[in-house]
């Protein structure tokens, strides 16, 4: 059994990062221009890393499968980015951000990495303001904050409901500056299909030009994977349809361990699915839970009347509504963490109280917020005895200013006005906390290969708190990797250019071409999406929020059968030497079909309930989750080593004991 070395520095938690930076090896500016770095993925993590490494003087090759880094899925992040600035004076601190993150992840993240994340969070905001990111501001011109689930302070900076897009434009502008200087060579519409390892070190990648179909070799002294998560293994998710696991999966099959693959974030505020014809789901920002109240009818007669169209939700009085989050978790109310809100919504719908035709929806209602803001505005404007309509108009204007684009998006999809009729929401697959195992330096178990952002496993444990994805991506890219990668690259200043005419590149390219030729020449009868949808249904039904031993074993067998049929029956139209989206999808779904089985195996090995997932054998569904007291060994990662022999080998699972320091091992008080 392999021994994992997390390389976490010794000493008190609060001093680790500072002490580490003081003692690592550096590359001087003159030598940085002798070193090449490949960055795969140009979302917030990859974009910020590419820009910063190039700014430092490294030669960067950046790869994006989209037509521009501006199209990275980071733009879909709506609600905000966390940082421990304490602008509200409400008691926030770097330690409290660290504590909330570890606690919110069910004590299953690496504490040293999370404390570092909290430390650098404040720097992220300063960096982005300097880039011109238009964060919301209060009346006095200071940056505004709002609350997100799982915390008791306001630490989330935001740009209306499009924070991810604005942050990505900031990183993209920094990238463009380096592209113009020639320090970043940008490869749009390119997909990494394998990593090349020379003498045990990552020394390049094989990529496909998605426009021409050409297979290309690219070398570097280090490879950085910043390709995001794998939520699309469920087919229906909030991820863009192009989001995939291929880059991370390829390095996994070359020796990079995969950690916690079964930890998926189930987001509680997604627009419910409307039928089997859908290819993706749409997210409503968690920020809406600042002002929206979640409820279902108390009485089953009202549930049926609403489903059958005999009643509208606005017909029900306050006494006829069950604000179940406020009832169960009074300290946090509607701002409980995502995993708690998701499980509670599923429990109510499983009990029969779902309000749409499928029985899979609860209400998110803004009536109280509109009235509250309206009355406040009437007082501010000196309006005495305002009419109900005036109060409504004033209140709607405030809500529209805070969340207008989200309400507009909801109305376009559902064709209902959410100002007047409560939104319908239901949990959906969103972010993945599992990913490539990395040490404190963000290096994988392949020397010279790094994983940053959502592609790695380290920061969020079993559940990510809202607004922490953008924080981790930018922290890794702007402030962590640029330090840690230098410690490794300091040994490469005399290496010289890495040649691509070697046997290692030959073999990697040959394997990539053989797989592509198989897909093009296979005389199957079924589309790629046919298999992807079947995989997604198995994953959601048996490896989703509710899991049990019987279902997980069935899922593993079913996924294996789907995979075997896929390799016999998949049909990919078109040619290899052209733009061919079906060919792209075929390779990605092949990877999902391998990951899915490992995903289920990881879940089977966990007889616990944590994060957004619960084992049905042991969890009480009605009322607050009680569960078992956390064990002393609660903080660990299951790590899988891959030995590729044509189909998934048994996962080799390892426990990594991580330190707890002064955090108490106790149940989350709001769970």
Q: How many angstroms from the chain centroid is the CA of residue 394?
A: 36
Question: What pLDDT score was predicted for residue 637?
Answer: 54
Nearest-CA neighbor of 150 among 468, 504, 545? 468
Residue found by looking up tokens 């505005």 in the block: 377
581-605 helix and 549-569 helix, angle to the nearest 10 degrees: 160
Question: What pLDDT score was predicted for residue 52?
Answer: 98
Question: How many Å apart are CA 100 and CA 145, to the nearest integer?
Answer: 17
- H/E element holding 207? strand 201-209
Name the more confident of 11 and 670: 11
- Kindly report the CA angle at 543 between 538 and 544, in degrees rounded to 5? 100
Question: What pLDDT score was predicted for residue 641?
Answer: 53
Question: What pLDDT score was predicted for residue 639?
Answer: 65
Q: In the chain, count of helices (H) and strands (E)? A: 18, 20
Report the length, in residues, of the chain: 671
Strand locations in 359-515, DSSP E?
A: 362-365, 423-432, 435-436, 449-451
Question: How many Å apart are CA 671 and CA 126, to the nearest integer?
Answer: 34
Pull the structure tokens for residue 341: 């809100």
Question: How many Å apart are CA 353 and CA 190, to the nearest integer?
Answer: 47
- What DSSP assignment string belongs to 521-544? H---SB-HHHHHHHHHHHHHHHHS
Tens-place pLDDT, residues 519-531: 999 999 999 999 9
Across residues 321-340, what is the average pLDDT?
92
Across residues 565-569, what is the average pLDDT?
97
Return the active site residues: 338
Helices (H), ranges, 313-387: 324-328, 338-348, 367-380
Tens-place pLDDT, residues 349-400: 999 999 998 899 999 999 999 999 999 999 999 999 999 999 999 999 999 9
Pull the structure tokens for residue 660: 């707890």
Name the more confident of 628 and 194: 194
Tens-place pLDDT, residues 534-558: 999 999 999 999 899 999 999 999 9
Pull the structure tokens for residue 291: 């002002």
Residues ≥6 apart with Cβ < 8 Å to 671? 340, 624, 625, 627
Residues ≥6 apart with Cβ < 8 Å to 47? 62, 69, 72, 74, 168, 171, 172, 174, 175, 477
Question: How many Å apart are CA 276 and CA 536, to the nearest integer?
Answer: 12
| Burial (CB count within 10 angstroms: exposed 0-12, middle 13-18, buried 19+), residue 417 | exposed
Question: What pLDDT score was predicted for residue 656?
Answer: 32
| Burial (CB count within 10 angstroms: exposed 0-12, middle 13-18, buried 19+), residue 3 | exposed
């Amino acid at each position: 059994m392999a021994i994992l070395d997390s390389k976490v520095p010794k000493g008190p938690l609060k001093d680790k990062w500072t002490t580490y930076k003081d003692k690592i090896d550096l590359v001087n500016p003159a030598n940085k221009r002798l070193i090449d770095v490949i960055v795969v993925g140009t979302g917030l993590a990859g974009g910020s890393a590419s820009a910063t490494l190039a700014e430092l003087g490294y030669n960067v090759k950046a790869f994006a499968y989209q037509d521009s880094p501006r199209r990275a899925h980071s733009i879909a992040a709506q609600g905000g980015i966390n940082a421990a600035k304490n602008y509200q004076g409400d008691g926030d601190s770097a330690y409290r951000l660290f504590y909330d993150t570890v606690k919110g992840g069910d004590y299953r993240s690496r504490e040293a990495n999370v404390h570092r994340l909290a430390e650098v969070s404040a720097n992220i905001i300063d960096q982005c303001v300097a880039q011109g990111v238009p964060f919301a501001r209060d009346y006095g011109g200071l940056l505004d904050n709002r609350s997100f689930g799982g915390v008791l302070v306001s630490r989330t900076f935001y740009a209306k409901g499009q924070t991810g897009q604005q942050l990505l434009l900031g990183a993209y502008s920094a990238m463009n500056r380096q592209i113009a200087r020639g320090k970043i060579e940008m490869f749009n519409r390119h997909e990494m299909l394998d990593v090349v390892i020379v003498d045990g070190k990552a020394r390049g990648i094989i990529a496909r030009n998605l426009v021409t179909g050409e297979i290309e070799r690219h070398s570097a002294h280090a490879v950085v994977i910043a390709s995001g998560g794998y939520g699309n293994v469920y087919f229906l998710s909030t991820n863009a349809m192009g989001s995939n696991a291929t880059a991370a999966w390829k390095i996994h099959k070359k020796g990079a361990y995969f950690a916690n693959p079964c930890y998926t974030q189930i987001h509680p505020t997604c627009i419910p699915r409307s039928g089997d014809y859908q290819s993706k789901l749409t997210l409503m920002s968690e920020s809406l839970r600042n002002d929206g109240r979640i409820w279902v009818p108390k009485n089953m007669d009202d549930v049926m009347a609403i489903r059958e169209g005999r009643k509208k939700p606005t017909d029900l009085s306050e006494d006829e509504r069950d604000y179940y989050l406020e009832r169960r978790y009074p300290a946090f109310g509607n701002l409980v963490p995502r995993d708690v809100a998701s499980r509670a919504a599923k429990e109510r719908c499983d009990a029969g109280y779902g309000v749409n035709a499928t029985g899979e929806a609860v209400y998110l209602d803004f009536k109280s917020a509109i009235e509250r803001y309206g009355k406040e505005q009437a007082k501010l404007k000196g309006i005495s005895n305002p009419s109900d309509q005036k109060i409504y108009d004033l209140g709607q204007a405030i809500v529209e200013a805070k969340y207008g684009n989200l309400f507009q998006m909801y109305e376009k999809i559902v064709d209902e006005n959410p100002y007047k009729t409560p939104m319908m929401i239901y949990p959906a697959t969103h972010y993945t906390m599992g990913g490539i195992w990395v040490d404190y330096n963000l290096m994988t178990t392949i020397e010279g290969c790094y994983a940053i952002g959502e592609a790695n496993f380290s920061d969020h444990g079993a559940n990510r708190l809202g607004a922490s994805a953008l924080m981790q991506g930018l922290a890794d890219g702007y402030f962590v990797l640029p330090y840690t990668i230098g410690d490794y690259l300091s040994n490469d200043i005399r290496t010289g250019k890495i040649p691509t005419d070697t046997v290692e590149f030959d073999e990697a390219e040959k394997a990539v071409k053989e797989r592509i030729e198989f897909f093009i020449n296979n005389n199957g009868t079924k589309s790629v999406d046919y298999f992807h949808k079947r995989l997604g249904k198995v994953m959601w039904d048996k490896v989703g929020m509710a899991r049990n031993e019987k279902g997980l074993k069935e899922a593993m067998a079913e996924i294996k059968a789907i995979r075997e049929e896929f390799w016999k029956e998949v049909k990919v139209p078109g040619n290899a030497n052209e733009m061919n989206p079906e060919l792209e999808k075929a390779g990605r779904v092949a990877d999902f079909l391998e990951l899915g089985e490992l995903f289920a195996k990881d879940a089977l090995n966990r007889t616990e309930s944590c994060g957004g997932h619960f084992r049905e054998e042991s969890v009480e569904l009605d009322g607050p989750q009680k569960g078992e007291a956390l064990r002393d060994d609660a903080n660990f990662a299951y790590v899988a080593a891959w030995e590729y022999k044509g189909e998934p080998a048994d996962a080799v699972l390892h426990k990594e004991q991580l330190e707890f320091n002064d955090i108490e091992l106790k149940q989350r008080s709001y769970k």
